[in-house]
Structure 1
Amino acid sequence: MDFLRPSTLEEALAAKSAHPDAVPIMGGTDVMVELNFDKHRPGALIDLTRVPELAAWGPEGDGVRLGAGVPYTRIIAELGERAPALAQASRSVASPQIRNRGTVGGNLGGASPAGESHPVLLATDAVIELASVRGTRRVPAREFYLGLRRTARQDDELITAVLLPRPAGPQHFSKIGTRNAMVIAVANFSLALDAGTRTVGTGLGSVAPTPVRAEEAEEFLAGEFDWDGGAVLDEAVVRRFGELVSSVARPIDDQRGSADYRRHAVGVMARRALSWSVTDYRKSLQDPRGDARCA
């Protein structure tokens, strides 16, 4: 196995172009497990830890450009206000040691349907930046997931960044697992409200072959939500929202949970996230700054 260690993004893209089958590695929290258990033996590894652009984040427009190699620990510490749901999801990742190494870019590269960041990226309408020697392109997260562990990334491309829109309303993330830490999600869910456009975003994980949205639930809630006053929603509305979220789940039975449990759980998480969001939204209307974000 060849080990390639570029020190610039240009060198990294050239290495990926020359070795399309090479596996990029930064945190290594997934890749090294596969290597250690001999589940995957690529012809080459591309170590990206010395590429500075991948480990940085900064403002872009009204939002944030998050380098694909920024670890979860930094997202928690530095992006709680700018990307609240992603910070919540990052807190739920494994152990402190894993959070120090793991990255959103690695989550996207592995494309596990149970990955914590995927529901948030769907709900917030984030954009994935892909680069190769041919150029750079940006793919909406809602078009990125193509099938089980298949994405829009081409073989010669690297995931270089995620573009996160500025929060324009409450954002929440929930995860259910067999214990609090070091666990793969049985189901996870994210909800984002946009007070500016009066739209709703959702993301479901570990309940289908790919991370998915509940588009009918989004449209239903957008029409029922009290965007002007943040009034408490009727129980029938909350229940219907949960049902519509559950209806898009296509889960399986496995050692972590049954399909029926996953379908039920994601509906419960949707109702709870909606309750939290209504509370946050009402508080934001009382804030003289008019800031509808949820940290």
Structure 2
Amino acid sequence: MDFLRPAGWPEALAAKARHPAAVPLAGGTDVMVEINFDHRRPEHLLDLGRVAELHTWETDGDHVRLGAAVPYAHVIDRLAAPLPGLALAARTVGSPQIRNRGSVGGNLGAASPAGDSHPALLAAGADVEAASVRGTRLIPVEEFYTGVKRNALAPDELIRAVRIRRATGPQQFAKVGTRNAMVIAVCSFALALHPHDRTVRTGVGSAAPTPVRARTAEDFLTAALAQDGLWETARPLPPSVVREFGQLAAGACRPIDDVRGTAAYRRHAVAVLARRTLGWAWDAYRAGEGREALCA
């Protein structure tokens, strides 16, 4: 196994072009586990630890451009205001040591259906910035996941950053696991209210071959909020709306039975998580969070 250690971004892209099968290594929280258990034995490891720009972030208008190697701990400590859903998801990742090493870029590269950042990215609205010696392109996050642990990157591409919409309203994330901490999600759910354009977005994890949006549930809730004038009045949500939203969210799932849970349990749990996150988010909206965005 050859160890490649570029000193900067152009050198990293050149190395990836020469060795398309090289496995990128940043935090190593997924890759090193696979290597240690002999589940993967790549010919080349591409260490991105010295590529400084991958560890930075910046605000770009209505978006935050998050470098691929920014650790979860920084998202929690420094970006919770513009990216509240992602910060909530980051808090559930592994241990403090893992949160200090693991990153959203690494989570995207692994493309596991159970990755904690995926539902929050789907709900917030994000684009993956993929780069190669041929140039740079933006991939909508909902198009990034192509199968179980597969993504839309070309063999010579690396994830440079993630462009995530700044929150204009409440966002929530919740997951079910077999214990309270350091656990892989049995299923997870994220919800984001976008008052500025009166829409709702969701993300579902570990309940289908890829992370998915519950689009039918989104459309239903968006219509219900508009029809009853709830964005303007912030009245309590009718229980029937909350129940239907949960059922429609569960309908977006295509789960399997595995050692962590049955398909039936995952559908049930997603419905519960959808109702709970909607309740929490709407309570925050009624308290004033994001309502000023209606006038923006």
Give the alignment's TM-score, normalised by structure 1. Answer: 0.96
Rounded to whole Å, the distance in 2 between the matches of 1:15 and 1:74 is: 28
**What secondary structure does 1:228 align onto?**
helix
Rounded to whole Å, the distance in 2 between the matches of 1:8 and 1:46 is: 12
- Match of 1:80, as an amino acid? A
Q: How does 1:95-114 map to 2 (within 5 A)?
A: 95-114=95-114
Rounded to whole Å, the distance in 2 between the matches of 1:88 and 1:145 is: 22
- Match of 1:168, as an amino acid? T
Equivalent position of 2:189 in the other structure:
189
User: Is 1:135 aligned with 2:139?
Assistant: no
Equivalent position of 2:231 in the other structure:
227
Equivalent position of 2:158 in the other structure:
158
The alignment-based identity, stated in percent, is 59
Greater Cα shift, 240-249 or 220-229 = 220-229
Aligned with 2:285 (options 277, 281, 284)? 281
Equivalent position of 2:144 in the other structure:
144
Equivalent position of 2:64 in the other structure:
64
Aligned alpha-carbon RMSD (Å): 1.2
- Match of 2:247, as an amino acid? E
Equivalent residues of 1:231, 1:278 under 8 A apart:
no
What are the Cα deviations for residues 70-105 of structure 1, in whole angstroms up to 9, with x where unaligned?
Answer: 000010000010100000000000100111100001
Task: Kindly tell me the number of residue pairs found equivalent between the two proteins.
Answer: 290
**What secondary structure does 1:232 align onto?**
coil
Equivalent position of 2:123 in the other structure:
123
Rounded to whole Å, the distance in 2 between the matches of 1:210 and 1:127 is: 16
Equivalent residues of 2:25, 2:46 under 8 A apart:
yes
User: Is 1:261 aligned with 2:265?
Assistant: yes
Segments of 4+ in structure 1 off by > 3 A? none
Rounded to whole Å, the distance in 2 between the matches of 1:94 and 1:291 is: 34
Equivalent residues of 1:284, 1:291 under 8 A apart:
no
Q: How does 1:85-104 map to 2 (within 5 A)?
A: 85-104=85-104
Rounded to whole Å, the distance in 2 between the matches of 1:53 and 1:149 is: 26
User: Is 1:169 aligned with 2:173?
Assistant: no
**What secondary structure does 1:284 align onto?**
coil
Q: What is the deviation of 1:180?
A: 1.3
Equivalent residues of 1:229, 1:285 under 8 A apart:
no
Evaluate the alpha carbon distance shift between residue 285 and residue 22 of structure 1 in structure 2; reply closer, same or farther with a 3 A threshold: closer
Rounded to whole Å, the distance in 1 between the matches of 2:145 and 2:234 is: 33
Equivalent position of 1:83 in the other structure:
83
Q: What is the deviation of 1:291?
A: 6.1
Rounded to whole Å, the distance in 2 between the matches of 1:151 and 1:116 is: 16
**What secondary structure does 2:64 align onto?**
strand
Rounded to whole Å, the distance in 2 between the matches of 1:199 and 1:142 is: 17
Evaluate the alpha carbon distance shift between residue 73 and residue 285 of structure 1 in structure 2; reply closer, same or farther with a 3 A threshold: closer
- The gaps in structure 2 that reach 5 residues or longer are none
Equivalent position of 2:50 in the other structure:
50
Q: What is the deviation of 1:67?
A: 0.2
Q: What is the deviation of 1:205?
A: 0.3
What are the Cα deviations for residues 112-147 of structure 1, in whole angstroms up to 9, with x where unaligned?
Answer: 000001011111111100000000000110111111
Equivalent residues of 2:196, 2:293 under 8 A apart:
no
Q: What is the deviation of 1:286?
A: 9.3
Give the alignment's TM-score, normalised by structure 2. Answer: 0.96
Rounded to whole Å, the distance in 2 between the matches of 1:26 and 1:286 is: 35
**What secondary structure does 2:58 align onto?**
strand
